[in-house]
Structure 1
Amino acid sequence: MDQSSQSPHECPVPAHGGLVQLHGGLLPQDPRHVYEALRRRWGAIAPVELAPGVGAWLVMGYQEALEVVWNERAFSSDARRWNSIIEGSLPEGSRLLAVLGRRPALNRLDDQAHRRQRQAVTETVNGVDLRRLRGAVRRQAETLVDGWDMNGTADLVTQYAHPLVWFAFRVLIGFPESEERRIAALLGSIAGAAHDAARAEAELMRTLHRLVAQKRDAPGPDLTSWLLAHSARLTEAEVAHDLAAILFTGGESTIGWISGTMRLLMDDARLNSAVAGGRMTVSDIADRALWDGSSIPNIAGRWARNDLVFAGCEVRAGDLLIPCLTAANTDLLVHDAGDLGRRAHLSWGTGSHGCPAKEAARSIAETAVDVLMRRLRLVRPGDRDTAVRRQPSLWSGTPDTLPVAFAPIRPGPNAPADVPAIPAVMGVPEKRQQDARAADSSPAQQAWAWWNSMNGW
């Protein structure tokens, strides 16, 4: 699709004032109607303001979002191209940098540098035994349900999806149980664009650097150890930042996926009956939930490599474009065509920058929903007024809470006595010998400070 051939219409350049503000408390708890209003007014893309004086293009059309993600010749993942940085309109301590800032991670790189890390991460994630992962998640899910109050009420986010997902990612990444809640809280601050998002990111990276150093000396059955052992010979800084990307996109989105699927089942009795009667599978419902509401509302962004006309608007080199997955997945022009497969939604990204851990996330989410469907009866929202609460964020669609009521819990199956507390879902790689490349990747040398990361080409 050649967007540059279209004739431009009157669109304000995002560097100018008068843009639609998506900050300062103006984004509601459920921003979908905001996206729809923007689409009615502007079409496939809209000029918005992410922070005072920081403009961007919100890409809401399905085909246009595909173009931004797929066309690496026109759109870059490298934040050093960002006009707002080059022109000085983005404050040094901006919370936007926690999500959009430059870093040596696979999702923030282009060309050969991206392909090198992408191959390492993809091959490493493909080494996860999904059968074992599903078994570990199922046992943990049963344990969580068994611990609920017998009065038939629970919160599916705080008492189920949140602890279950972070248990699974603790097993996958290999961080200790004592760090689980702290890492989850730090990622929540980043995804929620909290006022301390920059501090949370710095603390998260220090934690992951320590983990990588520990796994270098004592490898375990986890992704961290296998990334260090990969033939691409990633630096410790690269491994730490790639782990952060996996945790951010995989962990937070999987929590939202579980809660979104359960909301769909509670809101539509016909779907619930279809799953219970075997006419639809949990996998079918999980994909439908992603069409209806992506757990990652917006992808972190791309930057125009050159001046171009895109979707009828004049886009400058260095302009930020944000694919809005929530809006793209509900684009009526695409749905009316009726030719999309059930997994053609954009909730996991697509192309070379699609989420490499989506099958692991699918195993976690579908197992979590399956356990609830088997264990609970007559699940319904616990309180219609507070059933969905979330901190408004461009980067997370996960609710803070989802209270439910249900019929009395059925007793869960007894777990085998020989099940390990932390089951292995991978083997243990051989210890990698430290070389000059690894030695040059200490946290102090790879701090990616503001000036170095944004201007040091």
Structure 2
Amino acid sequence: MDQNSQSPHECPVPFHGGLVPLHGGLPDQDPGRFYEGLRRHWGPIAPVELGPGVGAWLVMGYQEVLELVWNERAFSSDARRWNSITEGSLPENSPLLAVLGWRPALNRLDDQAHRRQRRAVTETLNGIDLRRLRSAVRQQAEALVDGWATDRTADLVSQYARPLVWSAFRMLVGLPRSEERRLGALLGSIAGGAHDAARAEAELTGMLHRLVAAKREVPGPDLTSWLLAHSAPLTEAEVAHGLAAVLLSGGESTIGWISGTMRLQLGDARLDSAVATGQLTVRDLTDRALWDGSPVPNIAGRWARNDLTFAGCRVRAGDLLIPCLAAANTDLRVHGAQNLGSRAHLAWGTGSHGCPAKDVARSIAETAVDVLLRRLGQLRPGVHAIAPPRQPSLWSGAPDELPVVFAPVRPVRPNAAAGAPATSTVMGVPAKRKDERAADSGSKPPQWSWWNSINGW
């Protein structure tokens, strides 16, 4: 029965049976087909179960997702409103809390508190020299390809996208190289909704708190130091949780974007030819991939501030609503009208809570794809490459693997170690905040303060 034909009182009420289970890997068999089936039956919004006994609304319509993320008067980002918590139906160790639980980070705050952190994070990210970032990413990408250039086969997820992205984000936040592998593992557990996601989130937070404390003492050319120096000002807890939000939203989505772009290119000979002849740019190809499959299928939800009717359904105060970007981007009301290269997709969210790291993600993804297309001749999909196996996850669109075969190529720098640190940084080192300078005005100015004038901050 089509929900659009029902009155609000005829819609099934969440949390009381009749929910569509989203746990156990059901939508991961064929996400596009699964979401389309839900939309045909329920319309743009469906009652779902995120975990045993944990109900929510899955918002799948393009216009409805826009309304959900833009209407901050009706919908809150503060998980403390969640009735699954207040009514005691959500276990304290639920893996859902790693993504949806409250924390003092910009993606889980409303109103002035959100705007204050959003400004600090956005202005800090804007301080990244994207040209130098692309150069550093290209250096790392070339080294990774060199590592298996003569093997004739590679997995573009585990041997390329993941190590490349985590190398870049580790550098951006200022973590030591020794933490890189652990950083990727922790974020993978959180985004993948693993059973130990809550433990992984706690360990990640501890890692970032230690980083923030270290950068407070000795600032460096990284996001952490700039957030600490911002005029907001931010507490160390806010900086740590803000970094976690950037890493989770920016890192995992970039991995999904790279692998999704390559999967699209491998599966369509026309795209392959168009790129090879210059009719289609790498930017066009990566934009098309965002329509084809969102790197982040669903984003952290919103909670109804009051009882209301939304998309024809009765929604209670405290109900969780999940914006399903993967479904919204295939909504026939908009998808049929999009042109190749259009950026009207919702892959990064939208509104004041849209992903603040999308320019960083674009720089990394486009560089990564460009290196692969330029370096690898006769690139062909390996087993499962077009429809690769995936672990059940509501929050990550990246496949587990993306095997390819190719003609062997000559390494560019055969003696260079994959993963060698970049030869240059992509940010300067911030000067101390005014309040900190006043506290030690009698001390000698720090030697690193000249970066402030060079970078115009």
The equivalent residue for 2:242 is 242
The equivalent residue for 2:455 is none
Shift in CA distance, 317/339, structure 1 to aligned 2, threshold 3 Å:
farther
Shift in CA distance, 362/100, structure 1 to aligned 2, threshold 3 Å:
same
The equivalent residue for 2:426 is 425
Deviation at 1:412, TM superposition (A): 2.4
CA displacement 1:280-303 (0-9 Å, x = unmatched): 110111011010100100011000
Letter paired with 1:213: A
Letter paired with 2:381: P
TM-score, length-normalised on structure 2? 0.90
Shift in CA distance, 88/10, structure 1 to aligned 2, threshold 3 Å:
same
**Matched-pair contact (CA < 8 Å) for 1:386–1:403:** no
Shift in CA distance, 58/74, structure 1 to aligned 2, threshold 3 Å:
same
The equivalent residue for 2:40 is 40
Deviation at 1:7, TM superposition (A): 5.2
1:86 maps onto 2:86 in alignment: yes
Superposition map of 1:256-335 within 5 A: 256-335=256-335
Letter paired with 2:163: P
Structure 1 residue ranges, 4+ long, deviating more than 6 angstroms after superposition: 413-416
Deviation at 1:33, TM superposition (A): 1.8
CA displacement 1:10-50 (0-9 Å, x = unmatched): 22121211211111343434422221111010000000011
The equivalent residue for 2:402 is 402
Q: How many residues align?
A: 428
Superposition map of 1:19-418 within 5 A: 19-148=19-148, 150-338=150-338, 342-384=342-384, 388-412=388-412
SS in 2 for 1:147: helix
Letter paired with 1:39: R
**Matched-pair contact (CA < 8 Å) for 1:29–1:391:** no
**Counterpart-to-counterpart distance in 1, 2:352 and 2:143:** 37
**Counterpart-to-counterpart distance in 2, 1:221 and 1:168:** 13
**Matched-pair contact (CA < 8 Å) for 1:130–1:425:** yes
CA displacement 1:292-348 (0-9 Å, x = unmatched): 100100011000111111111111111100010000000001123458971111110
Letter paired with 1:172: L
SS in 1 for 2:407: coil
**Counterpart-to-counterpart distance in 1, 2:91 and 2:32:** 28
Deviation at 1:413, TM superposition (A): 6.6
**Counterpart-to-counterpart distance in 2, 1:286 and 1:337:** 18
Letter paired with 1:326: A
Q: What value does the CA root-mean-square deviation take over the aligned residues?
A: 2.0
Shift in CA distance, 278/341, structure 1 to aligned 2, threshold 3 Å:
closer
Superposition map of 1:13-24 within 5 A: 13-24=13-24
Shift in CA distance, 192/309, structure 1 to aligned 2, threshold 3 Å:
same
**Matched-pair contact (CA < 8 Å) for 1:171–1:422:** no
The equivalent residue for 1:452 is none
**Matched-pair contact (CA < 8 Å) for 1:387–1:401:** no
Letter paired with 2:80: R
SS in 1 for 2:8: coil
**Counterpart-to-counterpart distance in 1, 2:435 and 2:399:** 43
Letter paired with 1:133: L
TM-score, length-normalised on structure 1? 0.90
**Matched-pair contact (CA < 8 Å) for 2:143–2:413:** no
**Counterpart-to-counterpart distance in 2, 1:410 and 1:389:** 31
SS in 1 for 2:72: coil
SS in 2 for 1:378: strand
Deviation at 1:408, TM superposition (A): 1.7
Shift in CA distance, 315/271, structure 1 to aligned 2, threshold 3 Å:
same
SS in 2 for 1:142: helix
Q: Percent identity?
A: 77
Shift in CA distance, 40/47, structure 1 to aligned 2, threshold 3 Å:
same
Shift in CA distance, 69/415, structure 1 to aligned 2, threshold 3 Å:
farther
SS in 2 for 1:303: strand
In structure 2, stretches of 5+ residues that fail to align are 1-5, 437-457
SS in 2 for 1:406: strand
Shift in CA distance, 141/38, structure 1 to aligned 2, threshold 3 Å:
same
Letter paired with 1:68: L
CA displacement 1:369-389 (0-9 Å, x = unmatched): 000111011111111479612
Shift in CA distance, 241/315, structure 1 to aligned 2, threshold 3 Å:
same
**Matched-pair contact (CA < 8 Å) for 1:375–1:412:** no
SS in 2 for 1:368: helix
**Counterpart-to-counterpart distance in 2, 1:405 and 1:340:** 27
Shift in CA distance, 146/11, structure 1 to aligned 2, threshold 3 Å:
same
CA displacement 1:399-447 (0-9 Å, x = unmatched): 111110011214427999xx97452100001245887xxxxxxxxxxxx
